[in-house]
Structure 1
Amino acid sequence: MSYDNTAKYLAELYPADFANWLLPNQPNQEVTVLKTELSIEPIRADSVIFLQTKSRILHLEFQTLAKSNPPIPLRILDYYVRLKRQYRKPITQVVIFLQETDDEVAFTTEYTDEMTTHRYRVVRLWEQDAAQFLNNPALLPFAPLARTDSPSSLLSQVAQSVAKISNRVERQNIAGCTEIFAGLRFTKDLIRQFLREDIMQESVIYQDILQKGEFKLFYRQLNRRFGEVDTSIIEQIRALSTEQLEALGEAFLDFASVDDLVTWLDQLQ
């Protein structure tokens, strides 16, 4: 399951709530999702988002695992330089770690290399107070990952907060995201005691996340087997439905070259 992609969806749906959470000294500003021309590797595109206020850019990265290539500190510096060059605005960069870890990367807040030092913020969700998430639907899905001494009590509170969301579609989507994140920490049986699976599966966000997860898996397989592939082909694959991606994954086993992939895609048109 693509946990970082789920977090990105929430930030895109509720940019002001994320900005108010992470920029508490600049509340109630108009916030938009920045559709930047910066190139982002397809494998990272599902976990990186840029938000823009009138006076600042907020760069968010969601991480499930601490290890990455290039390393997180270097990648943060790279984005900072490119954002600064293009927009010439103050930039706040925040790496949000979703799953508890003792890896030093999750406790690192700067890139250092001889004469260069670049600092950024790190949020470790397992250290956060759940109360700040429970009363805000935009942040509610993070609540199962927050600090707690009683998992059952926390999940019960989360379920009650989900039930209070009056809009049916929003309730389904938030429930879907919440259950996805809860899976990082709790057993399926415990989650099912408090969160209903049927509500999650009705969520359009959940279905979209499934599609993105299938794409990411296939992209890795494609790169490993055939190396870099033309961007136009990648975009065709990205546009496929979950069912089509599953079918492509099966057919891919018999492909001898990229030409076979192109032929398969052409047959869909």
Structure 2
Amino acid sequence: MTDVKVLYETSKHGDLHEQVESILDKVVPLVRETTRLELPALVEFRIITPDIWQTDSEADLTGFVSRFRARRPRWQAPAISLVERVSLGHFRKVAPLLGGVLVMGATTAGPAERSQTMLVPEALRHSGVLSSPHYLTQLVTHELVHHAQNLATHHREVWATEKPAALLRAGSIKFLEEGHAYWADQEVTRCLFGEPKDVKDATESARSDIYRDATKDKRIARMAPSRDIYKEGLALVQTAIETVGATSINRVWTDLALLPTKRELKRPELWAERLQRAH
């Protein structure tokens, strides 16, 4: 049984609270059925201001680095702290553009086994998410899948014993997490609306001029990954699920050896074949 809590921590877009609650009521059972993953006993979504988003996102980043530092030799601590300071400095420069305009949703580690999803109404409006209830449904579903992933991996702790870098958002893990959530949100929106819905299909008119200008900002452009995490991640996960099924693919959340390699990211059929052999 999963309880849902939607916290309203801003004075704007008062109807968003009810919309998110209504969507969660519909998609919680569908996410569980689609992914074959359990959800936490409490699912928490927060509707917040850009300032709160920045503060809590910093805390999430610092938490990941602290857990990573604790697993590395003590002599590496100064170098890790330097990287943390540089990363936080860069983050603070672009945070107003990210939290207030570009980031549609962010799920971070919460207390105990829980996660929390942060939604900023201003960013949802600028990005076009609020232009259609279908897009908001996709976003809520996508972030809800991250709650299930985090529960399965204990916020990546199941991998971190042997691979401390798993605690940082790098490597094939990000492709796996985002590709899996993308696959699930497409399946759930297909079930609800007869066809998958993707906010990437939003017309330019659904996005504000502020959003379009922000995407052209040089600081944001430098942050953009060289590869499409969502598209490549979806190809990876979809190929594997078509081969071994959603239940079998879930073993990756508790088995470091099953994480896809760099070569398998480029050739998803190889990862599917390896999962099949392991099965």
Bigger CA radius of gyration: 1
The answer to whether TM tops 0.5 is: no
More helix by percentage: 2
More strand by proportion, 1 or 2? 1
Scaled by the length of structure 1, the TM-score of the pair is 0.30
Q: Given the two structures, how large is their TM-score scaled by the length of structure 2? A: 0.29
